[in-house]
Structure 1
Amino acid sequence: MYAERVLSGMRPTGSLHLGHYHGVLKNWVRLQQEYPCLFFVADWHALTTQYDDPHGIVGAARDMVIDWLAAGVDPRRATLFVQSKVPEHAELHLLLSMMTPLGWLERVPTYKDQQERLEHKDLSTYGFLGYPLLQAADILIYRAGKVPVGEDQVPHIEFSREIARRFNHLYGREPGFEEKVSEALRRLGAKRARRYGELRTHYQERGEQAAIEAAQRLFDEVPDLSHADRERLCGHLEGTGKMILVEPGALLTAAARMPGLDGQKMSKSYGNTITLREDAASVTNKLRRMPTDPARVRRSDPGEPDNCPVWQLHQVYSDEDCRAWVQQGCRSAGIGCLECKQPVIDGILREQEPMRERAQPYLDDPRLVDEIIADGSGRARHLARETMREVRQAIGLDYA
């Protein structure tokens, strides 16, 4: 059940560009066809570095959600929500902060890197130090088994796993745990209980991860098995206690380096972007003005595609025949730079056309976006409340 749940979020930065589409959103569109997905606007995370100027966050969040919808993220398939509309994130963050060693936060690789990169900002705040823990709470509150990340973000997932492990170790041993496990096994029935015992042996003696997934499928065969009993049986299988918080797994995504207009990685900070819904005239103008191989001063000068930013875009948008045409034509001066750019212009406009069409209803009636956010946030909050109920019980804060 949880092993299949996917969670991913983005800080609200306003309108997204093609780098976001190729690096993240295309993957989201694919994942929503395969898994139950939750995609959220990380507006509290924006405050970790933007606390002194928060006024544009709401507008940026709405623009970003429209871009998600334009890219093909489907609210009928995935749950789209805003982090701050699910206050349970903050509650879990607070409770986890009580048991998280300070050294764990200080050793997060991006902590010092970000401080150096954003040295013009005062980041000597708890919010900035604690953002990896808030990120862990975002994941753990939905018991997400899969978090799509690149290689550089794997340490954040491992941090979340360590937090879940520590929490379960501290609070997972409920009174009468062994007796309750025995009761849960009786509910499985004799045949399934024997199979469960075999899977437990496979995991604890041989470390077979597949045994955990097989056990989850076994539990699915017993529709009246309570959520609490499932968690007890999972914890017993893994040799801990009741597994209250699920250790997430990193769903590694291939790095997609979308080149910008200057050949560097496309980024707002470089001023080299094309936004997802940018109008055709602006896109065409930007691409026509792109720098090319500096060796081609005149139309008759031969060039070298590897030295030209336009060639990088051809590798994203052109087929093999077109790329061969560019290679031969540039080196022989058989084509000019404007001719070379036209297939890229056509490819980008072709990619953007359905995005503009999908976005238009939401631009015409912004209430549709608000309804999607409200509906998704309500569904997300239902899941978060289930987790927090068990978290409070485990800690002993379940007041009658």
Structure 2
Amino acid sequence: MTERVLTGDRVTGKLHLGHYAGSLQNRVALQEQYETFVLLADVQALTTHFEQPGLIRSHLREIALDYLAAGIDPGRSTIFVQSMIPEIAELTVFYSMFVTVNVLRHNPTVKAESKTGGLDDMYYGFLGYPVSQAADITFCKATIVPVGEDQLPHLELARKIVRRFNELYRPVLVEPAALISETSRLAGIDGHIKMSKSRGNSIALDSSPEEVAVQIKKAVTDPERIRKSDPGHPDICPIYAYHRAFRKDGSLEIREACEQGRIGCSACKGLIISALEQLLEPMRQRRTYYAARPALVDDILMSGTRRAREVAQSTMQEIREAMSLDYF
């Protein structure tokens, strides 16, 4: 059986450096080895943005441009729109019949959200988000799902759903394996542990050179370091995290110089600005090419969605036969 990867993003805004370090660069590499499906998760974006469908509509094409700019090759990867695959919604309903509410309430993501809104105020769509993800993974019989450690509970539920379905009906579904990302979470420029669109502490992949420089220059560094000669603490500095992510070969040298007070924060930031320019300039060129050809981007999305729909229909035929729902 051909190994198949399923990956993607919720359509909630432009992608940023954290996405690139955590997943995008890995996807570019994986598409050279495996059959890769890349999901534009617009339905799951509605779990938190259901009152702003217009934003989701515009974000979908922005993220598609981010994918193409980062190096996702539509000739190697199937980029598709979640809401245009009705079989995913159908699978979500079927799976929800044998996933208990109690299991969903104990999902770490749901529990974290309940701290602010409370479980009584939790929307049904958000509570069932992990079931929807299981449908995303299994409609194409993905064998590999790249995840960070914080996403492992979602994948484990998908694996349990697969086992439960195969036990109840017939062994139709494939149990996916996790491919754990070795890249640590990229800190935000405000020093927060995670770069995030919602916190406004991210650097978008389509940022201009000037925008990148401004963001890096205002980024927080080691709060305990006052003078250049003071010994630094790289492990609590977001800029050092960027060195590890985008200047791997020079990061050890930076660590030693920082700890010994031989390099100041300004010079350290200058090196990162240069490294990010080398990373982002080719992306800007690819993005400019595709942005000037919106019909081509639409064709890529429609073609990928047609391909995903064909796979989904084949899977659903097997599902319906296994569940004795193939009446006619």
TM over 0.5: yes
| Cα displacement (A) at 1:389 | 0.9
Query: Larger deviation: 254-263 or 386-395?
Result: 254-263
Unaligned runs of 5+ in 1: 173-242
Partners of 2:191 and 2:221 within 8 A in 1? no
User: CA separation of 1:388/1:310 partners in 2, compared to 1, >3 Å: closer, same or farther?
Assistant: closer
Unaligned runs of 5+ in 2: none
Counterpart for residue 33 of structure 1: 32
Counterpart for residue 313 of structure 1: 242
Matched, 1:286 2:223: no
SS of equivalent to 1:34: coil
| Cα displacement (A) at 1:53 | 2.6
Partners of 2:11 and 2:41 within 8 A in 1? yes
| Cα displacement (A) at 1:398 | 1.6
| Cα displacement (A) at 1:388 | 0.7
| Cα displacement (A) at 1:5 | 1.0
Q: How does 1:46-85 map to 2 (within 5 A)?
A: 46-85=45-84
What CA distance in whole angstroms lies between the structure 2 residues aligned with 1:344 and 1:302? Answer: 21
Query: Larger deviation: 17-26 or 261-270?
Result: 261-270
Matched, 1:97 2:96: yes
Post-superposition Cα deviations, 1:153-188, rounded to whole Å, max 9, x if no partner, equal 22222211222222222222xxxxxxxxxxxxxxxx
TM-score, normalised to structure 1, is: 0.75
| Cα displacement (A) at 1:262 | 2.8
Counterpart for residue 126 of structure 2: 128
What CA distance in whole angstroms lies between the structure 2 residues aligned with 1:303 and 1:13? Answer: 40
What CA distance in whole angstroms lies between the structure 1 residues aligned with 2:213 and 2:181? Answer: 31
TM-score, normalised to structure 2, is: 0.90
Matched, 1:346 2:274: yes
Partners of 1:168 and 1:244 within 8 A in 2? yes
Query: Which of 175, 184, 189 is equivalent to 1:261?
Result: 189
Query: Which of 141, 153, 157 is equivalent to 1:155?
Result: 153
SS of equivalent to 2:53: coil
**Aligned residue-pair number:** 326
What CA distance in whole angstroms lies between the structure 2 residues aligned with 1:293 and 1:341? Answer: 12
Counterpart for residue 324 of structure 2: 396
Post-superposition Cα deviations, 1:104-146, rounded to whole Å, max 9, x if no partner, equal 3333232222222x52998522212222111111111111111
Post-superposition Cα deviations, 1:14-37, rounded to whole Å, max 9, x if no partner, equal 211100000010111111011101
Counterpart for residue 5 of structure 1: 4
Counterpart for residue 193 of structure 1: none
Counterpart for residue 270 of structure 1: 199
What CA distance in whole angstroms lies between the structure 1 residues aligned with 2:295 and 2:118? Answer: 38
Matched, 1:106 2:105: yes
SS of equivalent to 1:272: coil
Counterpart for residue 14 of structure 1: 13
SS of equivalent to 2:7: strand
| Cα displacement (A) at 1:57 | 0.6
User: CA separation of 1:390/1:351 partners in 2, compared to 1, >3 Å: closer, same or farther?
Assistant: same
User: CA separation of 1:84/1:253 partners in 2, compared to 1, >3 Å: closer, same or farther?
Assistant: same
Counterpart for residue 309 of structure 2: 381
Partners of 1:293 and 1:303 within 8 A in 2? no
Query: Which of 137, 140, 164 is equivalent to 2:138?
Result: 140
| Cα displacement (A) at 1:303 | 4.9
User: CA separation of 1:316/1:5 partners in 2, compared to 1, >3 Å: closer, same or farther?
Assistant: closer
Structure with bigger gyration radius: 1
Partners of 1:305 and 1:311 within 8 A in 2? no
What CA distance in whole angstroms lies between the structure 2 residues aligned with 1:96 and 1:318? Answer: 44
Partners of 2:169 and 2:323 within 8 A in 1? yes
Partners of 2:21 and 2:183 within 8 A in 1? no
Post-superposition Cα deviations, 1:285-338, rounded to whole Å, max 9, x if no partner, equal 222233444566567x54525364433333333365575367447845x65543
Q: How many percent identity over aligned positions?
A: 44
| Cα displacement (A) at 1:88 | 0.8
Q: How does 1:166-185 map to 2 (within 5 A)?
A: 166-172=164-170
**Runs of 4 or more off by more than 6 Å in structure 1?**
none
CA RMSD of aligned residues (A): 2.5
SS of equivalent to 2:79: strand
